[in-house]
Amino acid sequence: MSIQPPATSVKPCPVCGAVLRGTADSCDHCGAVREFGPTKIEVARTVLIGGIAAPAITAILRPSVVLLAIMTVVGLVAGFYVAYSRHAVDRWSAPRR
């Protein structure tokens, strides 16, 4: 039977290594901040890629204005969902200088 060490409530900061509480959302030492979910740039990038890629593929296969408009909306929505499913974790970012 293996004995696990007790869980501690402190951990190192991923950016600078200073000691943090386990529930801390920012580091007092370096100013790093924990972010949840995608940033606005990541959402905009995936929505733009989806909004361009889906109608481009549709235009190659069957060029129809109505179908292109529908596929543009589908691509925009798919890009939004990809951004939120891909970046659905918390992560630490260094402070902007």
pLDDT in tens, the chain (97 residues): 567 666 667 888 888 888 888 788 888 888 888 888 888 888 999 999 999 998 888 888 877 888 888 889 999 999 999 988 887 777 878 877 6
Q: Residue 39: what pLDDT?
A: 83
Q: What is the phi-psi region of residue 11: left when phi exceeds 0, alpha when psi lies from -120 to 50, beta otherwise?
A: beta
What's the Cα-to-Cα distance from 55 to each of 15, 66, 72, rounded to whole Å? 41, 11, 5
* 67: number of Cβ within 10 Å: 14
Q: Is 92 helix (H, G, I), strand (E, B) or coil?
A: strand
Report the alpha-carbon distance of residue 78 to residue 97 in Å, rounded.
34
